[in-house]
Structure 1
Amino acid sequence: MPSLYLKKSYEMSLAVSDKGTGLRKIVVSILQKDNEKVLLEREYSPSSIASLFSDKRVNKDSFIIPVESRKYGMNDGEAVIRIMVADYSWRGWNSGNVFYVEKKVIIDTKPPRVKVLSSNHNIERGGSGLVIYQLFEENVKSGIMVGDNFFPGHPGMFDNKAVYAAFFALDYTQGPGTQMFVTAQDLAGNSVKGGFHHYIRDKKFKTDTLNISDRFLEFKMPDFDLDEIEDSFANSQNPLLAKFLYINRTLREKNVTTILDVPKDTVGEQLWEGKFGRLAGSATRSHWADHRIYKHKGKEIDRAVHLGVDLASTANAKIRAANGGRVIMAKAVGIFGNSVIIDHGFGLASLYSHLSEITVNKGDALSKGDVIGMTGLTGLAGGDHLHFSMIVHNTFVNPVEWWDATWIKNNVTSKIEAVKLMVK
């Protein structure tokens, strides 16, 4: 059966069957007012009366039927698909059983229209951006494509519900030359994409060397219970090191996927205001997107990229919400240890990891500065600290931008205020 919406180039899949006397005739047509176009007409004629009871009868068939409504003189709007199937039954003076069905459809051949309202889209490798645009059709899936990654747009930032806001990001691998555009697709599958003026600044990241000592392995590896996988390390030359490498590679990848799936639970409401806070009185122990080289007894054993900022003050220091929002995760996640994720609206989220204690629950509404837990060394942490990350939809971004009031004004709030004046 066809879908509800028929786009400009549409193909309808049809499968018919009759387990008894076999197929006699199939007719498929599309009707709009007094205009009817036959799309398919197929008759199955038995070679003889005897063949009614032979294996030569056709009991099933399938078709791919092109539906090009504009060529038939039909306009966008409601139409009807008619399907008639008859078999070779003796019923009805040998006219057979007749199956007849009509389905209402909507012809929609025009792609949605999008107008970008924001300007000055300057973004850095690993940084965040905001595009504000207007749609002129309802029920449209829209957002920003960055390379192969889709960042959905959301209504709710403005009184005009046709105006959407989409926070987007470049990950640490994406620099100048990365393709970015607005995209929209309606229910019929018609789609459109359009560019917007932007400038991408490149950025280099530090390289750090982390020496993994046997003392660290003896201290940290017992914290990770890997169930049946534990046995696979027993025959290794250094079982604790083999376990560390599994955790740092395979478990890290799984845990990152878990974390980045959470911010999809977002609301179309800006829950934050002003610059984001950082751990009070803290020193930066590791920067965002540091490229880490892990060594054991002077030999390189692994590499990874650190997608947060490590902040250290005193042990078990109070951790406060960096800005207003709602708790969308509060639990332990592998290498991240005890972690909290706060949704700030429109797909923007903050992550707090390695906590010794979590003092909030999923669903809690928070104001900036509310205590959410204490620093610690749960997960793959060698010392008491806070691992802090900012996330846009499904991408880790540089938190330093969100700690900077000037950056926020130039790249976020000034755009919002300018568009508010445009769409009054």
Structure 2
Amino acid sequence: MKKLLFITFILVVVLPLGWFFFSEFEGRAPVVEVALPSPYLKQDYTVSLRARDVGTGLRHLNVALVQAGKEVTLLDKHFQPLGYQGLFMGSQVLDQAVEVPVAFKKFGMQDGEAVLKIIVSDYSWRGWNRGNTVTVERTVTIDTRPPRIEVLTTKHNVTRGGVGLIVYRLFEDNITSGVVVGDNFFPGHPGMFKDKNVFAAFFALSFEQGPGTEMKVKAEDLAGNVSRRGFFHYIRDRKFKTDTLNISQGFLAEKIPEFDVDISGTTFDSTENPLLAKYLYINTVVRKGNVKTVLEPVKATENTLFWKNAFLRLPGSANRANFADHRIYKFNGKEIDRQIHMGIDLASVSRAPVPAANNGRILATEHVGIFGNTVLIDHGFGLTTLYAHLSAISVSKGDIVKRGDIIGKTGETGLAGGDHLHFGVAVNNVFVNPVEWWDTTWIKNNIEYNIKGVETQLK
């Protein structure tokens, strides 16, 4: 009987009490997950954090910002216990996610390093009922000062559809910068000069941008502080020709069947003239996609000024279409479409050798829709030349070519009506007038002048 009472006592009293005390003295610390939007504090900075405790539950959560011995509490949250004054079974809150605004200016914090300190405790009886505690610290930087910009070039005369060069100095590292022209952004690049804080940017006016277009240098640091600085510039206006292209049924029959276009199940067969309907789709929708495709590799430009002197044009060639010609397409005397021609068409003899316009690196060699067989050459700092409608390509991606090296032969691939070279020049993602780059005087006055002027300043 005594043995039975003893066993009963063990089972009913001792074991439950043991389990209770073991649970209340559990030693697993809470877990804290912290997500910082950036290591740099911004005006609208918010810290996301999650605290979890699968044992006795969360007791206390404290978030503070510490700088130079000054500590400011951002959040101080207590979790109510289940039992009397926290003596039994801890908190019912095992998982808590919070968003904590960090309004550092409100507390008079200065630019420089600071520490976000998160302290979380649970309802364990360890530490004389203070619980298991975990402290997580994250170093952040308070930065409220916009980057400083110093423009070093003084001459920025740009023509509608043309190019300019600006050189400027920044005074801190890890800055994203470039030139804003209307809605277009042209990244600045180091490397043209020995000083790593001196940046150069070719920038352009599209054929649509003339006098009154806003231009400025923009710089943004990792904290999101932005500086914008205007610079002296003069914009020359110009007009572009209007050209009419008559599309024949013979041309459609020769060219259009080779284009394999994905129109998500739609067919042109139900139209009155399937070839014409397909042509219009190619000349509008496909054209836009092809332009994006040929300009995409420009992002891989190198910070090396490959080119030197004026650019070459196709030897012995005549212009068959000009840059920014406003083309009106007609079929059977009726207008069917309008597009802008973003290069110069040069015609010579059939399958004429095509020279590289200047020194550079081959960015792409591929067949691109309306452009046909295409070569793209990087001349450095976002300046590229495009050679389209080629019948043959004799270079490969990554090749280094010199001015005059043969890269292929003229042809009529793509949406070309007759053997010729479509020659284009692009700055970043904007096609510009190639004529400027054939002009030794223009290069001397607008590009070399600025480079030499900065070199003199930096001596």
When normalised by structure 1's length, the TM-score is 0.94
Out of 314, 319, 336, the position equivalent to 1:284 is: 319
Deviations 1:91-142 (A, max 9, x none): 6565444332011222222111110000121111111111100111111111
SS in 1 for 2:379: strand
Out of 260, 266, 269, the position equivalent to 1:225 is: 260
Aligned-pair CA distance for 1:419:
0.7
Distance 1:295 1:170 in 2: 29
* Counterpart check, 1:261 vs 2:277: no
Out of 296, 299, 318, the position equivalent to 2:353 is: 318
The amino acid across from 1:350 in the alignment is T
The amino acid across from 1:241 in the alignment is L
Alignment of 1:132-143 (within 5 A): 132-143=167-178
Distance 1:189 1:158 in 2: 27
CA contact (8 A) 1:83 1:101 kept: yes
* Counterpart check, 1:83 vs 2:98: no
The amino acid across from 1:165 in the alignment is A
* Counterpart check, 1:65 vs 2:98: no
Distance 2:273 2:264 in 1: 15
Out of 191, 194, 201, the position equivalent to 2:236 is: 201
Distance 1:249 1:243 in 2: 10
Number of positions where the alignment pairs a residue of Structure 1 with one of Structure 2: 423
The amino acid across from 2:449 in the alignment is S
Alignment of 1:71-110 (within 5 A): 71-88=106-123, 95-110=130-145
Distance 2:369 2:308 in 1: 31
**2:453 matched residue in structure 1:** 418
Aligned-pair CA distance for 1:60:
2.3
CA contact (8 A) 2:312 2:438 kept: yes
Aligned-pair CA distance for 1:10:
4.5
SS in 2 for 1:340: strand
Aligned-pair CA distance for 1:9:
2.0
**1:14 matched residue in structure 2:** 48
Aligned-pair CA distance for 1:418:
0.7
**1:31 matched residue in structure 2:** 66
**2:306 matched residue in structure 1:** 271
**1:2 matched residue in structure 2:** 36
Out of 140, 151, 161, the position equivalent to 2:196 is: 161
CA RMSD, aligned part only? Answer: 2.3
Identify if the C-alpha distance between structure 1 residues 225 and 46 changes in structure 2 by more than 3 Å, giving closer, same or farther. same
The amino acid across from 2:52 in the alignment is D
Distance 2:343 2:356 in 1: 16
* Counterpart check, 1:361 vs 2:407: no
* Unaligned segments of structure 2, at least 5 residues: 1-34
CA contact (8 A) 1:135 1:162 kept: yes
CA contact (8 A) 1:5 1:108 kept: no
SS in 2 for 1:345: coil
CA contact (8 A) 2:82 2:90 kept: no
Bigger Cα displacement from structure 2, 42-51 vs 326-335: 42-51
SS in 2 for 1:157: coil
Larger radius of gyration: 2
Out of 320, 325, 332, the position equivalent to 2:367 is: 332
* Counterpart check, 1:44 vs 2:79: yes
Aligned-pair CA distance for 1:22:
4.9
SS in 1 for 2:278: helix
**2:286 matched residue in structure 1:** 251
Aligned-pair CA distance for 1:88:
4.3
Aligned-pair CA distance for 1:330:
0.7
Distance 2:245 2:37 in 1: 56
The amino acid across from 2:40 in the alignment is L
The amino acid across from 1:5 in the alignment is P
Deviations 1:355-411 (A, max 9, x none): 000000000001100000000000000100000000001110111111111111111
* Unaligned segments of structure 1, at least 5 residues: none
Identify if the C-alpha distance between structure 1 residues 50 and 95 changes in structure 2 by more than 3 Å, giving closer, same or farther. closer
Aligned-pair CA distance for 1:200:
1.4
Deviations 1:256-298 (A, max 9, x none): 0111111111111110011111100101000100111111111
**2:182 matched residue in structure 1:** 147
Aligned-pair CA distance for 1:79:
2.0
Q: Percent identity?
A: 53
Distance 1:231 1:3 in 2: 45
Aligned-pair CA distance for 1:314:
0.4
